[in-house]
Amino acid sequence: MAYRHLLAAQVRSQAQYRASLAIDVAGSVLFGVLDIVSVVVLFRVTPTLGGFGFTEVFLMTALASCAFATADLVVGNVERLRQYVRSGLFDALLVRPLSSLAQLMAMDVATRRVGRVAFGVVMLVLAAANAPVEFTPARLALLTVTPIAGAVIFGAVFVATATVAFWWIESGEIANGLTYGGLNFTQYPITIYGAVFRRLFAYAVGFAFVAYYPTLALIDRPDPLGAPAFFGYAAPAIAVMTAVAAGLVWQTGVRHYRSTGS
Amino acid sequence: MIAAVVTNSVFGFLRFAVMLAVIEAGTRTVAGYEEPQLATFVWAGQGLIGVVLLWALPELAERIRTGDVIADLLRPIDPVWQLLAADLGRAGYAVLTRFVVPVVVGALVFDLYAPRRPITYALFLCSMLLATIVCFACRYLVNAAAYWLLDVRGPQTAWTLTSGIFGGLYFPVWFFPHAMAIALIVATPFPSVIQIPLDILVERGLPTVQLGLLGVQAGWVVALLALCRWVQWRGERKLVIQGG
């Protein structure tokens, strides 16, 4: 498989400077630590956040952090598309008989980000053990599937927002509002956000299914906002929908692409 | 530019929602801030990011790595002052654009705290100027690490993390234990970039306290610029222009 060769070559080249890679992995772990520290510090000054206690918000944060870190590892560097479009490098991808998006992912995989994923998994296990979860086989399956579905949702957002570069090269950090902003949003219960903002991020983009609804299902608590209980198990379906939508946006973008000619 | 203010405003909504949740759960104040004060803290903070330019691309490091920095060194003005002058010009423009937009967005949607003492505006402008210089100096030191390391991704990551969490961007440093907050403000440069200007703007403490905070910032400006000069001097002795 050509993709596997591309990917293996990338990982091998990044692993050549061992000390450098080790430092980068450590740095990536620290970004994961930051997600957790923010929650711990906030609960120093407040007993509850949006009606939820520390262990519950900790579980949401761990789920969000895990999902984001995985998406960031696999497709995070798609945000470099901007530079490729500007420099004309994207042409080189299009002439190869492989999918341009898959090539981008394979070329730009950031091996160092495994640090954040690993830390996220440890935190998730810790959070699940601390939260008031009564484990049944269904809940155990939910706990495993949710970070993957969440990663797909984040990945779709990464791809869809990067695609903006096909139309607007100077789009700068506008994608960050949805990607890193999405991480920020999903870390906390959606009950804390204003109605308009919540509708936009939680339902239009689907961020509520990354951590909030799965957490409700895990701790067996009805939604204070009145959503039906099956929402807790809907993440995989939502993930498929966002991935399909992102794929369509990407295809439209590629068709729209005009080389800079440089 | 447009992308930056849109993103800053989105994060304004996100951060203030969390602050609001913290305040609504407990009493009407948290860590000594009332709700409108926190609103100003968050929204002016989102504007301040663009003025001090908290996250800049490591351009100087790239020039050191490629050897282009030699063109800067040939000029009869010290590179620290050259870049500082350019950065202050950029910051002045950013006050009118990147600072104003998030504050207006915040003011349209939420109740912002307007300073009650006229002197606060003058103090805030001074504080913002000092904050810009402190931030410039910190970024300069991160970049100058390239004289020794060539690749500054490590120091860059360290700066991004520490400035955000200990500088008051993600939450006011007063959310930490009191003694730790005081230690951070006095003994590290990070709160001088975001926390101190915002505390002055929302009038936390008496004018005398605020003058003291300006003094802390001024101290950091002097210390960090001196350090920049020294590092630059050492770096020039270390610099090898790669041939070819």
Residue A236: inside a domain, yes or no? yes
In a domain, A261, yes or no: no
Amino acid residing at A217? A
Integer Cα distance of A184 and A192 in angstroms: 12
Number of domains in chain A: 1
Contacts of B4 in chain A (CB under 8 A): 172-173
A57-66, A167-176, A188-197: least confidently modelled range: A167-176
Contacts of B175 in chain A (CB under 8 A): 41-42, 44-45
Res. A8 pLDDT band, cuts 50 70 90 = confident
Up-side HSE of residue B88: CA atoms within 13 Å toward CB?
11
Which segments of A2-123 are extended strands (E)?
A: none
CB-based contacts of B74-80 (< 8 A; 24+ apart in sequence): B78/B229, B78/B232, B79/B232, B80/B140, B80/B225, B80/B228, B80/B229, B80/B232
For residue A129, being part of any structural domain is answered with: yes
Question: What gap in Å lies between CA A194 and CA A198, rounded to an integer?
Answer: 6
What span, in angstroms and rounded, lies between the C-alpha atoms of A14 and A18? 8
- Between residues 9 and 28 of chain A, which touch chain B (CB distance below 8 Å)? 20, 23-24, 27
The reported pLDDT for the residue numbered B32 is 87
Measured between CB atoms, does B152 come within 8 Å of chain A?
A: no
**What distance lies between CA B121 and its chain's CA centroid?**
18
Inter-chain touch A194–B17, beta carbons under 8 Å:
yes
- A104-118, A127-141, B150-164, range with greatest mean pLDDT: A127-141
Tokens of A259: 């080389």
Interface mutation target, options A20, A41, A82, chain B, most CBs of B under 10 Å: A41
Distance from the Cα of residue A141 to its chain's centroid: 20
A212 and chain B in contact, CB less than 8 A:
no
Query: Cβ A23–B7 below 8 Å, yes or no?
Result: no
CA distance A118 to A223: 30
What pLDDT is recorded for position A12?
86
What value does the mean pLDDT take over residues A151-170? 89
Check: CB of residue B130 under 8 Å from CB of residue B192. yes
Q: Chain-wide mean pLDDT for chain A?
A: 89
Picking from A47, A171, A193, the nearest residue to B17 by CB comes out as A193
The answer to whether B232 faces chain A, any CB pair under 8 Å, is no
Residue A70, in any domain of the structure: yes
Q: Which of B93, B106, B95 is nearest to B8 (CA)?
A: B106
| Residue where the block lists tokens 């430092």 | A23
CA-nearest residue to B55 within chain A is: A173
Surface-to-core class of residue A137, CB atoms within 10 Å of its CB (0-12 exposed, 13-18 middle, 19+ buried): exposed
Within 10 Å of residue B80's Cβ, how many Cβ atoms?
Answer: 18
Looking at residue B26, its pLDDT comes to 66
Mean pLDDT by 10 residues, chain B (244 residues): 87 92 80 91 95 90 86 88 94 94 94 92 96 96 89 86 91 94 95 96 91 96 96 86 60
Residue A169 scores a pLDDT above 90: no
Helix A114-130 crosses helix A137-162 at what angle (to 10 degrees)?
140
Domain interval for residue A193: 2-256
Whether B21 sits inside 8 A of A188 (CB atoms) is yes
**What does the alpha-carbon distance between residue A250 and residue A240 come to, in Å, rounded to a whole number?**
15
At residue A63's C-alpha, the angle toward residues A61 and A70, to 5°, is 115
The predicted model scores a pTM of 0.90
Chain-chain contact of A42 with B1 (C-beta, under 8 angstroms): no
Domain contains A262? no
The answer to whether the beta carbons of residues B174 and B31 sit under 8 Å apart is: yes
Cα separation, B110 vs A197, whole angstroms: 14
Nearest in space to B112 (alpha carbons), one of B43, B48, B50 = B43
In this predicted structure, what is the pLDDT of residue A262? 59
* A83 lies in some domain: yes
Q: What is the structure's pLDDT at B65?
A: 85
Region for residue B206 given its phi and psi (left: phi exceeds 0; alpha: psi -120 to 50; beta: otherwise): beta
Q: What is the DSSP letter of A202?
A: I
What DSSP element (H or E) covers B34? strand B33-34
Q: What is the pLDDT of residue B243?
A: 58
On whether the CB atoms of residues B226 and B134 are closer than 8 A, the answer is: no
Nearest residue of B to residue A51, measured between CA atoms: B25
What is the per-residue pLDDT for B130? 97
CA A182 to chain centroid: 8
pLDDT over threshold 90, residue A113: no
Confirm whether A51 is domain-assigned: yes
Task: Residue B171: list chain A partners with CB under 8 A.
Answer: 38, 41-42
